[in-house]
Structure 1
Amino acid sequence: MTKPTNRRVFMMQTISVAGVAAFATTAAQAAMVDEKDPQAAGLGYKADATKVDKAKQPKYAAGQQCSNCALFQGKAADAAGGCPLFAGKQVAGKGWCSAYAKKA
């Protein structure tokens, strides 16, 4: 009787590990912020900071981008990372919005 129990425990553990791995992969691939999203548009978000319209966004200065913003929740070299302004979504590391605050 110990063999079926061990096999059952093994199968349950395998299924649990697979479920956790699938959840972690899904969480790591959070959706990117869409420039047309109402909140993003309101903040003047652009996925590519070099395409910011300086006439519409006078706060923008060359060299400012999400990856060197205090709000960016990734590493400076990351292509994308979280931002508390866009909960559950990622911003492009080379992006920009009017809430930009230089990282200390």
Structure 2
Amino acid sequence: MSKIARRQFIQLSAVAAAGYFVSPGREAKAQDLPHVTEDDPTAMAMKYTHDTSTVDPATRAKPDENQNCANCALIQGADGDEWRPCQIFPGKLVNANGWCSVWAPKA
């Protein structure tokens, strides 16, 4: 076996191994994303919490106990899902019962 043949074998083996672990045609789903944690630097800066009932209404721009991620204009995904994508935390999911200081009412 020559060096070129070995090199090709190694390259093809790497491609085959990658193909084994990556399913062609499989779409990424929102539920595959990690949950944002309350100690995440962005979450801390935005005062994010998983449970809106722990937030002092006086700290909100518009004191309203009904503010939560589920009724925020920035949340994405299907209504009713417990964890959903949010524009503020790309690549992570927020709890629908959560809250952060960027909360904005849905139109």
User: Are the aligned partners of 1:69 and 1:102 in contact in 2 as well (CA < 8 Å)?
Assistant: yes
User: Are the aligned partners of 1:66 and 1:95 in contact in 2 as well (CA < 8 Å)?
Assistant: yes
Determine if the alignment matches structure 1 residue 43 to structure 2 residue 39: no
Give the CA deviation at 1:36: 0.7
Equivalent residue for 1:33? 36
Q: Higher helix proportion, which one?
A: 1
- Among candidates 78, 86, 91, match of residue 88 of structure 1: 91
Structure 2 unpaired stretches of 5+? 1-18
Percentage of identical aligned residues: 38
Task: Quickly say closer, same or farther: Cα 1:90–1:56, change in 2 above 3 A.
Answer: same
User: Are the aligned partners of 2:49 and 2:98 in contact in 1 as well (CA < 8 Å)?
Assistant: yes
Task: Quickly say closer, same or farther: Cα 1:90–1:29, change in 2 above 3 A.
Answer: same
Determine if the alignment matches structure 1 residue 101 to structure 2 residue 74: no
Q: TM-score, normalised by structure 1?
A: 0.70
Structure 1 unpaired stretches of 5+? 1-15
Equivalent residue for 1:11? none
* Whole-angstrom CA distance in 2 between matches of 1:93 and 1:27: 14
Q: 5 Å matches for 1:10-29?
A: 19-20=22-23, 24=27, 28-29=31-32
How many correspondences in the alignment? 89
Give the CA deviation at 1:55: 4.9
Q: Higher strand proportion, which one?
A: 2
